[in-house]
Amino acid sequence: MPDFSLKFTQTPTTDAGTFKLLELPADLCKLIESSLDTPPSLVIKGDSNEHAVLCTADKTYTVRSVVLSNSILTVTPPRAGEFEHGSSDDLVIRDQIHEVLELVPCLPKLDKLGGLLRGREYDEGRDDEEDMDEDMDDGRPTKRRKLTYEDARAMLQASDVELENGLKTRRVLTLRGELRPIAPSHLTTILELLLNYLVSLSLSHEAAPIEDLAAALEEDHEIRREVSRQVMAWFGETKGGLWTMDTSATVREVGIGIMRAYKNDPIAEDEFLKKWRATVGDKFESVVDLNLLSGNYLSSPSQFIEPPVPLLTYFPASALPVDPAQRFGDLFLTRPRWKAEDIAPFLTDIAFDHKERDRLLLKFARAVTDSEGVWYTARAKYNS
């Protein structure tokens, strides 16, 4: 083996902390190795008060430090003129590394989006209004700053693909370059109209002309075409001027819209299903299934009706805290114990996979098994 002469750097203060070791997970290592000609985009995101994440084009990884039991020396060839009497066999010790940066797959951190878009909701009859804020200095109203896609891309810890999906699932429109969440009631109205027009115009939901539907909504109900086009893209595929509707997703969203009215006053399950089927019409009533609304409602037996019937209450997972401890606190304040299959839908948006969900359950809940199956109760005491 070749011999080298080790020397300490002459600029220890400058060189200290210059190097970091990053351990690549197997999938990211394969991505880099398969893209040597065109290296993939890797971006580290995070404000000073946030834990850093690394984003690829379609995934997000938490960056966390793991302390090494043994220090690692980083060495380089000497810089030009660094030593008066140097040779080609010299190596310079630049720094000592005591930690390695580990990348762990995680969910995109999109919870800030709600705050950034607050007050910019797009609703029927308010599409051109400018929302105003109170100025802190003189009390005069000022225009709220508009949020663009590029703003969101820079501020949110998510890959581009995850951000696109997040805007879609949160029903955020892009209007005149600005991101604006659509009012849930207005979205439900548009979807109900689309279902009605598919029937009244004798159009196939597997290949409906986009312009025909958009024109009908604009002429009859003053719904802007750019709005209806984006809504159609959320609930199906738009290609070649045709809309292939995602029937389950559309019927599901209509069901959520109906369920939203029963946040405080529960509705009997059979009555709700009857309303849901009537709203989507004969053509799509066969798609109606309460399982589509998993994670958006609670079911409990009636106390004053004999025989007892299931009562449904609107309870969306999206309205719960994203912090796991707070999420479990809210869940156990709502119910002291949960069946395994009932609590699972309320954890999918805070757990990267089933293993992460099971880890959270192990940390914040106790599992109890009886003749009815597995129940989860709180590890901590919560006061209602």
Dihedrals phi, psi of 216, to nearest 5 degrees:
-65, -40
At residue 115, what is the residue type?
Answer: G
pLDDT band at 160 (very low <50, low <70, confident <90, very high): very high
342/348 Cα distance (integer angstroms): 12
Helix and strand tally (H, E) in the chain? 13, 19
129 vs 69 pLDDT, higher one: 69
Q: Read off the pTM.
A: 0.85
Mean pLDDT for 328-357 is 94
pLDDT of residue 132: 45
- What token pair was written down for 225? 């075409």
pLDDT tens, residue by residue, 276-310: 999 999 999 999 999 999 999 999 988 776 678 89
Distance of CA 60 to the CA centre of its chain: 11
Q: CA-based Rg of the chain, rounded to a whole angstrom?
A: 28
Tell me the C-alpha distance between 294 and 310, whole Å.
15
Instruction: Pinpoint the alpha helices (H) of the chain.
Output: 12-15, 26-33, 112-116, 149-155, 160-169, 184-200, 210-221, 225-234, 247-259, 269-280, 324-334, 340-343, 354-364
Res 171 pLDDT > 80: yes
Region 141-163 average pLDDT: 88
CA 166/CA 271 separation, integer angstroms: 33
Closest CA to 221 of 126, 128, 125: 125
The answer to whether 212 and 201 are in contact (CB under 8 A) is yes
Closest CA to 159 of 90, 197, 105: 105
CB atoms within 10 A of CB 372: 7
CA distance 154 to 45: 8
Edge-to-edge strands, sheet with 242-245: 208-209, 242-245, 236-239
How far apart CA 336 and CA 365 sit, in angstroms, is 11
18-67: pLDDT as tens digits:
888 999 999 999 998 888 788 888 999 998 889 999 999 999 999 999 99
**Number of Cβ within a 10 Å radius of residue 330:** 14
Q: Are strands 373-378 and 365-370 parallel, antiparallel or unpaired?
A: antiparallel
Q: Return the pLDDT at 3.
A: 76
pLDDT for residue 167 is more than 80: yes
Q: Give the number of other CB atoms < 10 A from CB of residue 179.
A: 21
Do the bridges between strand 310-314 and strand 267-268 make them parallel or antiparallel, or are there none, so unpaired? Answer: antiparallel
DSSP at 270? H
Say how far apart CA 133 and CA 254 lie, in whole Å. 33
* Per-domain residue ranges of the chain: 5-106, 109-127+143-182, 320-384
Fold of 320-384: Arc Repressor Mutant, subunit A (1.10.10)
